[in-house]
Chains A and B, each alone.
Chain A
C-alpha cells in the first residue's frame, strides 16, 4: 500500500511569503504528526492530531506556524511570513494510534531565501 506522501518535495520561497506544506497519511491511520529536522539532528516534534483534533501543538515554534487536519485525513502545515531560520526539512508521519510506531514520509525541504 501507499506510504505517507508529502508535497511539495522541495519548496524555495522568499522571506516574508506564506507557505503551505501538505501531508497525505497512510489510509486508516488515526494519528498524524509534524516534525522538523535540521541537518545532522533528529526530528523535532511540532504538533500531532488524532483524527481531526489537534492534540498537542506545544512544539510549534511561534504563532506563524499552524496546522490543520479538517477531515481527519490530509493535513496542511502553514508557515506565515517565512523567515530564513524556518529553512529545514519538514517531515510528516502517521500511525495507527497510541502504542504504534510512526511511519514517515520523505519530507518537504523548505528553503527560505
Chain B
C-alpha cells in the first residue's frame, strides 16, 4: 500500500510551457512535503518543500501547491526548460512518526525543445 502516489509515470511538455507534476498521499498525518529532481547516474536533488501550515510555496520557476483536504500536492514549473528533463519524486513526512520520509515512485518529465 503506497502512502505516496505519483500516478503519471511520465509527462512530456513543450519548452516554455507549464509543467504540472502531481502527487497524492493517503496518510493524513503527513505534514511536511518535498520535491526532488533526479538526473541519470546522480542522487536525487532537493528542489522545494512545503509545510502543511501553508498551501503554496514558490521558488523562482518552481511552485508547490498543497491541498490538504484532497491530500494532493502539485509542482508547477513555469516556464519549462529542456534542462528540467529529469525524474521528479514527491516525498512526505509525518512529524509525530519521527523523521522517516516516504517517497513516491517518481514521474519522468521530458521538456521538448
Q: How many A-B residue pairs have CB under 8 A?
A: 59
Separation in Å of the B87 CB from the closest CB of chain A?
9
Number of interface residues of B (CB under 8 A): 24
Query: Which of chain A's residues have a CB closer than 8 A to the CB of B34?
Result: 101-102
How many angstroms between the C-alpha atoms of A50 and B99 in the bound complex?
10
B98 in complex: contacting residue of A42, A56, A91, A102, CB < 8 Å = A56
Residue numbers in B under 8 Å from A42 (CB-CB) = 4, 6, 89, 91, 103-106
Q: Is the CB of A56 within 8 A of B104?
A: no
- Asked, given contacts A45-B100, A102-B101, whether A4 binds B89 with beta carbons under 8 Å apart, the answer is no
**Does A8 interact with chain B (Cβ within 8 Å)?**
no
User: Which residues of chain B in 30-88 are interfacial with respect to chain A, using CB atoms and an 8 Å cutoff?
Assistant: 32, 34, 36, 41-46, 49
